[in-house]
Amino acid sequence: MNKIFQAKMDVDKTIKELSQNEKKVLLTLKKLKGSASPENILKNGDFSQEVEIMNASSWLQSKKLVKIEDHIKTVYALGKEGKQYLEQGLPEKRALTLLSKKGKATLKELSSVLTSQEIPVAIGWLKKNKWINIKKDKETILEITAEGKKALKAETSEEKTLKMLSEKPNSELDKNKIKSLLTRKNIIKEKEIITSTIVLTNEGKKILEKGIKIEDEISQITSKIIKTGVWKNKAIRPYDINAFSPALYGGKPHPMVKLIGEIKQIFLEMGFEEIQGDYVESCFWNMDMLFIPQDHPAREMQDTLYCKVPSKVKVTDKKLVDKIGQVHEDGGKTGSTGWGYKFSKEEGERALLRTHTTVNTIRYLYNNPKPPCKVFSIGRVFRKENIDSTHLPEFYQIEGIIHEEGANFKQLIGVLKEFYKRMGFEKVRCRPGYFPYTEPSMEVDVFYNNQWMELGGSGIFRPEVTEPIDVKNPVLAWGLGLERLAMLKFGLKDIRDLYISDLGWLREKPLI
């Protein structure tokens, strides 16, 4: 397609997409020799309001068919005293009228036509204009001069300005000519106003040369137009689907909320039930129950956030506490030798913010020791971590257990691989790991963006954990990190980005 032909095509397209008001503005401008103020277009075109012209003109400007030129104008209007003097006359003129009748007057006599504030003003101007002479005898006496008499017959330039401004407020005036009025208070006001001129551009002229017609067309389709069939016989204005319009965003869930929903869905589909727990727990349930020795380094202030209020959480099942204490000390009936230290019940009652959601699954097992069961929980846990690009002191864990006859390690690997596969991670690696409450134990990693990322721990609960609560069958257990998974999913390099509430990236995320 050659260039000229292409340009011609554009003209046709532009004409087609003009609205009625845009066409009317262009035609009126043509009539007004290519440039006019909105008021002038209003007078000469078929419009009912100036805003219609301004709206259409800014659309025309965006299509480069007109230019809106703004000018700042200084204009003047009557002030409060200006209006008053227009009716009563300026103070010096009123004084002069009185003097011309009497030839001369005392200050006292002036007060019959002037207020006490106006007298000094009037005398000042009378003297300045050489309309009076002042004589001081016993009293101050004002005498009219020949010039004063002459001045009375003519309209002064000040009076002319006041009259003119009352007829045409907001007029542009020569500042030099109104100096004396401007020095006086509240007689006239200076204002700055912006006026626009709409000017046809060369493109606009081209469109007019090509010719535009105002036809009765449909610019907005309504149900009425469709029902009555009116659309059949009328032209419909084409839409410009490439026209710029600002993006509108409705409210939507945070990507993390959405992701949690997806994970829940996966576990539900795999036949699991959801369980929940509290943030504040006792050491007993969070650690003792899981055969974590009371002198374990993870219990130190380093990792665990202990609570001041409440500082203790009572453990109600005293028999269980005794049993667990025994297991810690010498293994009890579990066949284990235990840790070989003196178990403290008080230590078990210390209150903490749960450090893992394994506390939820162990409590569930205690309340439901009969197999089979498949439960999961997604919840927040707390640890004394320094915040950096891969650590937060508060994060989510995806926890789960399978308790059934014959449950085994291979099954555990299979279930975790299946979960990650459903989350979109094909490559999963299981490595040997260590947790005081599982044997065997393993770590789970996923491969993503050319690197392995450690996502969580798992294993089969030890007899030290299951025996005291009468659980006889194997329990497969896992606790996986959610935020790291989210980082991989959302392509984030910094874990903190998940919680910064930056609408920019929240809107971008493909998940939502």
Sites of contact with ligand PHE (CB under 6 A): 356, 358, 435, 438, 456-459, 477-479
Pick 343 or 435: Cβ nearer ligand PHE: 435
For residue 121, give the 3-state DSSP assignment: helix
Pick 321 or 398: Cβ nearer ligand PHE: 398
User: In the beta sheet, which residues pair with residue 217?
Assistant: 235
CB of 305 to ligand PHE, least distance (A): 14
Q: Which residue is nearest to ligand PHE (CB)?
A: 479
Per residue in 80-110, is it b (16+ CB within 10 Å) or e — as a string?
ebbbebbeebbbbbbbbebbeeeeebeeebb
Pick 356 or 489: Cβ nearer ligand PHE: 356
Nearest residue to 203 via CA among 3, 460, 11, 450: 11
Pick 443 or 497: Cβ nearer ligand PHE: 443
CB of 463 to ligand PHE, least distance (A): 15
The secondary structure element, H or E, covering residue 55 is helix 50-62
CB of 395 to ligand PHE, least distance (A): 10
Cis peptide upstream of residue 440 (ω within 30 degrees of 0): yes
Pick 188 or 365: Cβ nearer ligand PHE: 365
Question: Quick one: three-class SS letters along 385-411?
Answer: CCCECCECCEEEEEEEEEECCCCCHHH
CB of 325 to ligand PHE, least distance (A): 22
For residue 226, give the 3-state DSSP assignment: helix
- CA-CA distances (angstroms) from residue 359 to 305, 312, 379, 396? 15, 17, 11, 14
Q: Tokens 């956030």 map to which residue?
A: 305
Q: Give burial (CB, 10 Å; 0-12/13-18/19+) of 286.
A: buried
Q: Residue 331 is encoded by which pair of tokens?
A: 């293994």
CB of 460 to ligand PHE, least distance (A): 9
CB of 322 to ligand PHE, least distance (A): 25
CB of 483 to ligand PHE, least distance (A): 13
Nearest residue to 364 via CA among 373, 355, 351: 373
Pick 57 or 397: Cβ nearer ligand PHE: 397
Pick 327 or 365: Cβ nearer ligand PHE: 365
Q: What are phi and psi of 397, to 5 degrees?
A: -120, 145
